[in-house]
Amino acid sequence: MTRFSLFLGVLLMLAGPASAAGLLDAPISFTAQRSVTVNGQTYVGPMFHVPGQERHEQTLMGMPQVYILDDESGDGYMILPGLKTYIKFPFPPLLSALVDGDIQKQPRGDEIVSGIPTTKYRLDHNSPDGMHGEGFAWVSKRGVLMKLDGTMTAPGGHKTKVALILSDLKEGPQKPSLFAPPRDMNQLPIEALAPLIGGIGH
């Protein structure tokens, strides 16, 4: 697995809401500021959610990026607006498990995260590709994943520390165009994008 694909998998694994049913099933529409930290490197940007779909925006190495996730199709899109290019990808196995709700959630009490009441859960899951994810998740009473702190372990034993926290969450309707697949852009394979996002490669 390349560092690029691992980064992509981490970002998607942490993407936004979670409920007892699955990752993208929070029954409310909202926006929030999302902060993801991977092995000490933090990525910050806005996110947008409607039931079954999400959009994440961030800047990596000075390059704007957009991620769109669609639960119904099981597809995601990574878009580089400045280069008018995108890649389409299936959900990684660990994300698929979270979307399907196929993960153990052990409640560990209630806590306040960014001013919102949540329940803290212990997570532990092995995905079909050999990845192992474990840690803690803080889920709001409305079904939104407000915080996550955990570790991903690759089949070879390499560990990646990951964390997520949401802030400034605002409920409300979102524009459908935010979740539309890219149009009038060039599609590239995932391997071609590694050098375009700051040399994240093997």
In the predicted structure, residue 183 carries a pLDDT above the cut 60: yes
Q: Which CATH class is domain 3-196?
A: mainly beta
How far apart (Å, rounded) are the C-alpha atoms in residues 200 and 193? Answer: 9
* Sequence-distant (≥ 6) Cβ neighbours of residue 70 within 8 angstroms: 52, 53, 76, 179
- How high is the mean pLDDT of the chain? 76
CB-based contact 48:60 (threshold 8 Å) = no
Grade residue 105 by pLDDT with cuts at 50, 70 and 90. low
In the predicted structure, residue 7 carries a pLDDT above the cut 90: no
* Sequence-distant (≥ 6) Cβ neighbours of residue 196 within 8 angstroms: 63, 80, 83, 85
How far apart (Å, rounded) are the C-alpha atoms in residues 60 and 7? Answer: 11
- What is the tens place of the pLDDT at every residue in 133-161? 788 888 898 888 899 888 878 788 888 88
pLDDT-wise least confident of 65-69, 119-123, 127-131: 127-131
Q: Where are the domains of the chain?
A: 3-196
Q: Which two tokens stand for residue 135?
A: 């840690």
pLDDT-wise least confident of 17-21, 40-44, 54-58, 107-111: 17-21
**Cα angle 18-23-25, degrees, rounded to a multiple of 5:** 80
